[in-house]
Amino acid sequence: MNTQLEDIRSWQVLATYCRDQPGGQGVSPSPRLVRAGVCAYFSKVMFMEYSEKDVLDDFLEIAKRYCDAKFMVTNWRHYLTPFEARVGKLPRFKSLTSQERDQFLTAIRAMKARLSVVVGGRTENVGGIINVARTVVQEGEDTALFALFHEIGHGVQTEGDIPGNVKDAIFTHKTETGTRFGELFADAFASIALSACGRSPKQIMSGAEGALADHGSDADHPDWPTRKENIYNCLGA
């Protein structure tokens, strides 16, 4: 690629990253002002003078990772499509009737049409809006996609138009109930859907670890070893 163009793109990526950070709104989108604005932003938040070279050396990789993951999260509908195409072929859905599979697909498509996904806030799925936290997006594509598909999984679990047999084919558990069951269900959906979309077991597990491993175990959340084992089982089946 033309180096000058590459250079302009690098600064645009840095500017996008800065504008999404707390206090970053002041970074101008104007190409003429972007370099100065980005350097000023990093100088302000890092409490030291940042030259253009310092910024490129220290933050370009981080900004690229953030922007690539943000692009995936923003274009999430595209990443769900291969899963829809594979619902009829996955072994775990084989015992379903074709009517159940059709109901599932209709519900997934309706969900796709109505859900909004927003980068920012805390990661959750409330009232038809999924938020994916900036800090999660900053971890990169695998973590951001797992977190997003986990939240879609919460929507699948509570969706009244999806038959119970479909939900049982995604995840069942002998003892866990309530929100702990919901967390494992959402992990199971994320693992199955991402795997059907061509993400490798390694990408899925590292994404799950990035998204979940820091969460302690509590009344609502199973511990990481339990969740990890569940994800392994889902990827194996």
Helices 52-74, 141-158: axis angle to 10 degrees equals 30
CA angle 81, 93, 231 (to 5 degrees): 75
In whole angstroms, how close is the CB of 66 to Zn ion at the nearest point?
A: 22
Binding residues for Zn ion, rule: CB under 5 A, are 183, 186
Dist. CA 50–CA 145, nearest whole Å: 32
In whole angstroms, how close is the CB of 18 to Zn ion at the nearest point?
A: 30
* Residue 74 in tokens: 């923003």
Considering the complex, state which of residue 125 and residue 195 has its C-beta at the smaller distance from Zn ion.
125
Considering the complex, state which of residue 39 and residue 186 has its C-beta at the smaller distance from Zn ion.
186
In whole angstroms, how close is the CB of 186 to Zn ion at the nearest point?
A: 5
Considering the complex, state which of residue 80 and residue 186 has its C-beta at the smaller distance from Zn ion.
186
In whole angstroms, how close is the CB of 220 to Zn ion at the nearest point?
A: 9
Contact between residue 169 and residue 128 where contact means Cβ atoms under 8 Å apart: no
Contact between residue 181 and residue 154 where contact means Cβ atoms under 8 Å apart: no
In whole angstroms, how close is the CB of 153 to Zn ion at the nearest point?
A: 8
Considering the complex, state which of residue 142 and residue 183 has its C-beta at the smaller distance from Zn ion.
183
Contact between residue 123 and residue 131 where contact means Cβ atoms under 8 Å apart: yes
In whole angstroms, how close is the CB of 154 to Zn ion at the nearest point?
A: 6
Considering the complex, state which of residue 103 and residue 226 has its C-beta at the smaller distance from Zn ion.
226
| Beta strand pairing call for 124-126 and 116-119 | unpaired
**84-91: Cβ within 8 A, 24+ apart:** 84/108, 84/109, 86/196, 87/196, 90/192, 90/196, 91/237
- Provide the Cα torsion 23, 128, 110, 91; round to 10°: 90
Considering the complex, state which of residue 186 and residue 193 has its C-beta at the smaller distance from Zn ion.
186
